[in-house]
Structure 1
Amino acid sequence: MNKEKIAVLTDSCADIPETLIKKHDLHILPLKIIFSGKAYTDGVDITAAQVYDKLPSEIPKTSLPSPDEVRTLFQKIYDKGYRKVFAIIFSSGLSGTFNLVRLIGGEFEGLNVHAVDTLSGSLGTGAIAVHTAELIEAGRSFEEIKTILSRLIANTKVFFSIDTLEYLQKGGRIGLITAMTGTLLNVKPIITFSDDGQLMSVAKVRGRRKSIQKMIDLAKSHAPEGARYILMVANGGCPDEMDAVKAHYTRVLPNFENLYEGEVDCTLGTHVGPNLLGAGILVLGEND
């Protein structure tokens, strides 16, 4: 039921599986990855696995979609009969995509575009986008969902266990001293998104197994007693380990309403490197 003809647009950093994209008719705006001066389109002509293969020899740059690509996607949405759009976008603390989409959406005739800065990425952005689509399908109004989205963003927490801070340091995302310490001591960092949407380190744990346990403990700490919640897990080139994370996570928090799984996109992969594992939680209010 979608009487107001509302569409959901998000970007490739949301890491949403193709099955859910098709189920909810989500519209995906891909970002760009640049290797050796050549631009690739995230998830279209380059995969995360290919990025990981290239990382030892070159740290790529990431780039916004072009304004024409954004306009083309809005035109596609309009041509399909939609007249309102929730554009749910990767953190403005790491990318200019939100501002680009907001500006072009505000000029696009025929569409009422509400751009949302999730201050998150990967699991967080994807879960918010999918849940927004479900609210639309449940008949919630455009104005109602605007209010709900503010709560969803505030109540979404994601954590990532990564092998090394090397790639974050090389990409200018974290300080050199912290990166060297993590590498020399074989410490496994856990990162999250800060309040302003930038990546930040929240813990350093020696050993992969302990880092995974700490990541799950951190996510669990954001689930109030008796709350409704959605769980998310993701991996960057290590799906078997993600399955183990999922099994443990769902034992710890068994009363989830939905569980979303994803593979980390090329953009985040360029910043963090291979072997990332992620666990996230979106706490829902009574009317969310």
Structure 2
Amino acid sequence: MGVKIITDSTSYIPKELIEKYDISVISLSIAIENDTFREVDMNNEEFYKKMDKSDTIPISSQPSVDEIYKVFEKHVKENNDIVGIFISSKMSGTFSTACLVKNMILENYPESKIEILDSKSASMQLAFAVITAAKVAYDGNALGEVVQAVQKNQERSRILFAPDTLKYLKKGGRIGGASALIGSLLQIKPILTVVEGKVEVLHKVRAKKRAIQTMLNILFEDVKKYGFGEVTILHINCQETAKKMLDMVKKRFGMKVKICDISPVIGIHVGPGAFGIAYYTKDELKTRV
């Protein structure tokens, strides 16, 4: 008996960590033109090429009740407790569906222990919370301690990104407070973040180079104030930009930094050419925007 961690495919956790910590990943899906794919089965490079050529923006969909139920039931039958951590409830219905499934499981298995957590984010910020939970569970800690570790990580993490255009966020309805930028973006490169699960504007600059430096300055200042935890560079089809950011972070901190493609379900709302960083600090971040 132990604590098993369940998340969704927008966390984009490396395969080796999924296997090491036995993390269950439930896939969202994407419909593009006449085809529907599970996100976990997609090749990112091929998907974004197809997206570029398509006349319509793809549509994402959450996992079904049945898909989530089967994963939950498997762990419950093995006498495990469950901590589920999912994409922001303001970005997807996955969290709400997981809560519904939790109640269904409790009706059939009243002795089971399940906690469902809203990550209030996605991509690597979600991944940081999931990996934190998995490590704590792997060390044999109880459900309450796993939940507490996730909550502490959420208080210390931040994601910053700059889309090449806001049209994807606007069309997908994920733009939140960034909507004020629509119509005034001819020469503006917005730096966005996620606050309480919604996309918000952090800064507005006028060049890609300035956007990169502004993001890194925020990271450097946060680390100076709150200590260094971990950082990952994010991008969609702009490897050179990601490599440049990686080199600047490595030069500053002298440690290993990862580069991660932004996964398709998030990518269809952010759009090709987006780049950013996700990180967490040693101590709680006091300022979000």
Which of the five TM-score ranges fits, normalised by the shorter chain? 0.7 to 0.9
Equivalent of 1:25, from 22, 37, 48?
A: 22
Q: Distance in 2 between matches of 1:226 and 1:190?
A: 21
Correspondence 1:167-178 to 2 at 5 A: 167-174=168-175, 178=181
Report deviation, 1:17.
Answer: 1.6
> Measured at CA, do residues 277 and 45 of structure 1 come closer, stay the same or move farther in structure 2, by a change above 3 Å?
closer
Partner of 1:232: 232
> Measured at CA, do residues 140 and 177 of structure 1 come closer, stay the same or move farther in structure 2, by a change above 3 Å?
closer
3-state SS, counterpart of residue 223 of structure 1: helix
Equivalent of 2:70, from 64, 69, 72?
A: 72
TM-score under structure 1 normalisation? 0.86
Query: What do residues 120-178 of structure 1 show as CA deviations (whole Å, max 9, x unaligned)?
Result: 11011001111111112233322122222222112211111221112112223336662
Report deviation, 1:267.
Answer: 0.9
> Measured at CA, do residues 273 and 24 of structure 1 come closer, stay the same or move farther in structure 2, by a change above 3 Å?
same
Q: Distance in 1 between matches of 2:96 and 2:4?
A: 19
Correspondence 1:124-135 to 2 at 5 A: 124-135=125-136
Query: What do residues 170-229 of structure 1 show as CA deviations (whole Å, max 9, x unaligned)?
Result: 2233366623322x22x22211102x3111221222222221111122233333546351
Q: Distance in 2 between matches of 1:168 and 1:52?
A: 19
Partner of 1:188: 189
> Measured at CA, do residues 281 and 82 of structure 1 come closer, stay the same or move farther in structure 2, by a change above 3 Å?
farther
Q: Distance in 1 between matches of 2:150 and 2:168?
A: 32
Correspondence 1:54-93 to 2 at 5 A: 54-55=51-52, 57-78=55-76, 81=78, 83-93=80-90
Report deviation, 1:283.
Answer: 2.2
Query: What do residues 239-268 of structure 1 show as CA deviations (whole Å, max 9, x unaligned)?
Result: 34323212212333457xx85542211111
2:137 is the alignment partner of 1:136: yes
Q: Distance in 2 between matches of 1:12 and 1:163?
A: 24
Q: Distance in 2 between matches of 1:197 and 1:45?
A: 25
Partner of 1:16: 13
Correspondence 1:1-288 to 2 at 5 A: 4-36=1-33, 38-45=35-42, 47=44, 49-51=46-48, 53-55=50-52, 57-78=55-76, 81=78, 83-108=80-105, 109=109, 111-174=112-175, 178-182=181-185, 184-185=186-187, 187-194=188-195, 196-225=196-225, 227-254=227-254, 259-285=257-283
Q: Distance in 1 between matches of 2:41 and 2:76?
A: 23
Report deviation, 1:106.
Answer: 3.2
Q: Is the 8 A contact 2:246 2:257 kept in 1?
A: no
Query: Which sections of structure 2, spanning at least 5 residues, go unmatched?
Result: 285-289
Q: Is the 8 A contact 1:48 1:269 kept in 2?
A: no
The structure where helix makes up a greater share of residues is: 2
Report deviation, 1:35.
Answer: 2.2
| C-alpha RMSD over aligned residues | 2.5
Query: What do residues 24-71 of structure 1 show as CA deviations (whole Å, max 9, x unaligned)?
Result: 211111112122364321131564641453245111222111101111
Q: Distance in 1 between matches of 2:79 and 2:24?
A: 12
Query: What do residues 50-102 of structure 1 show as CA deviations (whole Å, max 9, x unaligned)?
Result: 145324511122211110111122234346x3511111111111111111112
> Measured at CA, do residues 246 and 82 of structure 1 come closer, stay the same or move farther in structure 2, by a change above 3 Å?
farther
Partner of 2:287: none
More deviation, 85-94/101-110: 101-110
Identity of aligned residues (%): 23
Q: Distance in 2 between matches of 1:224 and 1:142?
A: 33
Q: Distance in 2 between matches of 1:212 and 1:171?
A: 25
3-state SS, counterpart of residue 247 of structure 2: helix
Q: Distance in 2 between matches of 1:230 and 1:34?
A: 33
Q: Is the 8 A contact 1:219 1:280 kept in 2?
A: no
